[in-house]
Amino acid sequence: MKIAVLAGDGIGPEIVAQAVAVLEALKLPLQLEYALVGGAAYEALGHPLPEATLEICQRADAILFGAVGDWKYDSLERKLRPEQAILGLRKHFGLFANFRPAILYPELANASSLKPEIVSGLDILIIRELTGDIYFGQPRGRRAASDGEFDGATEAFDTMRYSEPEIRRIAHVAFKAARKRSKRLTSVDKANVLETFQFWKEIMIEVSKEYPDVALDHMYVDNAAMQLVKAPKNFDVIVTGNMFGDILSDEAAMLTGSIGMLPSASLNTKSFGLYEPSHGSAPDIAGQGIANPLATILSAAMMLRYTFNNSLGATTIEVAVKQVLAQGLRTADIFQAGAGTTKVGTVEMGQAVVEAINGIMKKT
């Protein structure tokens, strides 16, 4: 199992170290290669995604990614900012399908931002198209306003675009995923305003004819945002574009108690994947040993399932995480005083998962 390990910035190295420890506890044939990415790469090599890092990723079967970014890089020109590394990897490897599950563990029902009776049993899968939309649309830039509306000031523009093959490709991924679950798919768009998403909706309807066993419905993104906090369990699988998916998946994260619990997988057509937590680099808590590593650990489980077809290993990690939560161990983001829980740090949480895995493996 050739894995490129890109820890990145902020809390990235801390949480990735725990995910690696968990993978090693499974006694798998791992071949790990480490490389710099993001701000760390810019500091050392002058670019957030150096050629040497890209070469290591090309030799790998999958990428285990931490997080990139720091406020101190906000003044850099766009192409040198740490976030360009993740966009560059998505584009280079054609990572078009982003899977973001939002699952509420029973032990964390009281940590959710919503009442337990609204979110208990929550299990949503958000599928986000990852290589199109306004993040990659051309043209983009700034220019002088021609109509005088801005009194000679400059204006900025980004182009929202999708091609038919891009929409059709993510549609098939979403319908197949829904077919393996409850056979319900919600396509989120803004077809009442945006031509891009009228086009999206038309193609979704066309593709749905190939999946007569899957019920398809459509929802405007603003309504979807409201329904996620009003009645989230009405959703099962959601498919949407790049920008809407970015926003909605972070909203769904808070339903689970903390964004520190949400893993993600970004896949191409050949099952090559980049696996990362849904949260960011959190430079404000970096180096304090208090970050939640569970999203990264669960991302490693997704890597075993989707790239290496190792369902047993993935399930072992997921069961171990459930056991640790059942024991009452909590990092600061999910800790509740007086709830019979114990606050632990990043390393302690990771080690607890490793010990749980050891126990599971002894029984089998």
Residue with tokens 């040993």: 289
| Contact present, 291 and 16 (Cβ < 8 Å) | no
Residue 189 appears among annotated catalytic residues:
no
Out of 189, 246, 306, 333, pick the active-site residue.
246
CA gap 284, 42 in Å, rounded: 20
Structural domains for the chain: 1-96+268-364 (3.40.718.10)
Tens of pLDDT along the chain (364 residues) come to 999 999 999 999 999 999 999 999 999 999 999 999 999 999 999 999 999 999 999 999 999 999 999 999 988 998 999 999 998 999 999 999 999 999 998 888 888 888 888 998 999 999 999 999 988 888 888 777 665 555 556 788 889 999 999 999 999 999 999 999 999 999 999 999 999 999 999 999 999 999 999 999 999 999 999 999 999 999 999 999 999 999 999 898 888 888 889 999 999 999 899 999 989 999 999 999 999 999 999 999 999 999 999 999 999 999 999 999 999 999 999 887 667 899 999 999 999 999 999 999 998 7
**Type of residue at 14:** E
**Type of residue at 267:** L
Q: Which residues of 200-211 are buried (b: 16+ CB within 10 A; e: fewer)?
A: bbebbeebbeeb
- CA angle at 70 for the pair 83 and 80, rounded to the nearest 5°: 45
DSSP string, 124-183: EEEEEE-SSGGGT-SSEEEEE-SSSTTTT-EEEEE-----HHHHHHHHHHHHHHHHTTTS
pLDDT for the residue numbered 320 = 97
Any idea what DSSP says for residue 233?
A: G
CA gap 284, 330 in Å, rounded: 19
Angle between helices 195-208 and 164-179 (to 10 degrees): 50
CA-based nearest residue to 94, from 275, 330, 269:
269
Out of 42, 190, 211, 333, pick the active-site residue.
190
CA gap 339, 356 in Å, rounded: 22
pLDDT for the residue numbered 59 = 96
Residue 363 appears among annotated catalytic residues:
no
Out of 158, 250, 322, 343, pick the active-site residue.
250
Residue 190 appears among annotated catalytic residues:
yes
- Alpha-carbon distances, residue 207 vs 173, 210, 214 (angstroms): 11, 6, 11
- Alpha-carbon distances, residue 268 vs 86, 91, 92, 130, 167 (angstroms): 14, 10, 10, 10, 14
Out of 115, 176, 222, 230, pick the active-site residue.
222
Out of 34, 61, 105, 135, pick the active-site residue.
135
How many CB atoms lie under 10 A from the CB of residue 223? 11
Residue 222 appears among annotated catalytic residues:
yes
Residue 70 appears among annotated catalytic residues:
no
| Contact present, 325 and 110 (Cβ < 8 Å) | no
